Structure 1
Amino acid sequence: MLKQLFFILILTVVSTAFTIPSAVLKKADKEIMKFYEIEKIQKEIIAVPKDINSLTASEFGDGNLFKIRSNGQFLGYGYIGNAPSKTATFDYLVLFDTNLIITKSKVLIYREEYGGEISSRRWLQQFDGVSPASKELKYNDDIIPISGATISVRSMTKAMNELLQSIAMLQKRNVL
């Protein structure tokens, strides 16, 4: 009986540990509707098979990769990710058009006192127009550094490169 309770407890912790917090989902939905200038969206979760997911640099699961639709029209794709900052993490949203070219990126929740400058629209626009076929983005070449936000800038750059590599793999494997 004790083993069963322990197993259920572990299963519950594992299954809830990787879910996207409702506050993050709410902010993402709001941002998507604002970007597309619509009042209602439908998100169609893209299930990535475990064997393919294990090969990707980004983690896909719990609805963090999805197709965006409104009134039956396919608008593009969305991805909600989480990346490390100096002592915490931040949540971000990346929107792709129907050809998987980045159209918008947004830091949804930043949990540090310093480095929040990466949330600025002007800085994030550097990622617009980048596709999985693009070359790897390099800190201080393609991506402008921000004084006082070096760790977060490097982390976001790494996260975007990993996402683009992962999306390319999903395309190659006909998941997208």
Structure 2
Amino acid sequence: MKKIIAMFFIVCISSGFTASKRVDALIKKEITSVFKIEEFTKESLHISSEINASLPISINDSNFFKIIHNNATIGYYYFGKAYGKADFFDFIVIFDKELIVSKVKVITYREDHGGEVGSKRWLKQFEGTETTKELAYQQDIAGISGATISVKSMLNEVNKLLKTVTILSNKGQL
């Protein structure tokens, strides 16, 4: 019985590393595609607890990064979660150095229904958005039949992120 439990933990731990490597590879692919570069480094932001308390989304060393190429900041990306009907899904938002949304991509969708929220065509609506804008459902961002909960959740998270980035920029944190 102890061997079975030990094997279970080994499989769980190794699958976590595999998933993490897959997510990192997908993020790298998107960043290199957006900025048309082959290599970059990422640097996490260190936001004080005082500033973090004022943000709609808490920033930590695993969700918001500066993208550096040739010793210069070329943009930022956020790795977040939104809630669908029954489970969370992971997404990234890539900003250029002027803090304009360059790309939004759903990385992992875990439900049977609503996966259309990850379509390139639908996500393209976010591109070009400035952080000072609040996007409105059915005005700026179209709904998707059968994915209403995921759409609204994603829109809510992106709007909170836009406000967060605006605050960080105004406080000289970016």
TM range (shorter): 0.7 to 0.9
Alignment-derived partner of residue 74 in structure 1? 73
Q: When the two structures are superposed, what TM-score results if normalisation uses the length of structure 2?
A: 0.84
Asked whether the equivalents of residues 46 and 63 of structure 1 are also in contact (C-alpha less than 8 Å), the reply is no
Q: CA deviation at 1:99?
A: 0.7
Cα offsets for 1:37-96 (capped at 9, x unmatched): 322110011111111111111121133111112232322111111111111111111111
**1:148-167 → structure 2 map (5 Å cutoff):** 148-167=146-165
SS at match of 2:90: strand
Alignment of 1:82-93 (within 5 A): 82-93=81-92
Deviation at 1:21, TM superposition (A): 4.2
Aligned residues: 156
Secondary structure at 1:68 match in 2: strand
SS state of the match for residue 90, structure 1? strand
Other-structure match for 2:119: 120
Supply the distance in 2 between the matched residues of 1:22 and 1:60 (Cα, whole angstroms): 22
Amino acid at match of 2:30: E
The question of whether the paired residues in 1 share the 8 Å contact of 2:137 and 2:152 is answered with yes
Q: Percent identity?
A: 42
In the other structure, the counterpart of 1:144 is 142
Q: Letter of the aligned partner of 2:79 in structure 1?
A: I
Cα distance 1:22–1:54, how it changes in 2: closer, same or farther (>3 A)? farther
Structure 2 residue identity aligned to 1:89? F
Asked whether the equivalents of residues 82 and 157 of structure 2 are also in contact (C-alpha less than 8 Å), the reply is yes
Superposed displacement of residue 133, structure 1: 1.5
**With structure 1 as the length reference, what TM-score do the two structures score?**
0.83
- For 1:49 and 1:71, the matched residues in 2 are separated by 27
Distance in 2 separating the partners of 1:34 and 1:141: 29
- What is aligned with 1:47? 46
Q: Which residue in the other structure is 2:100 paired with?
A: 101
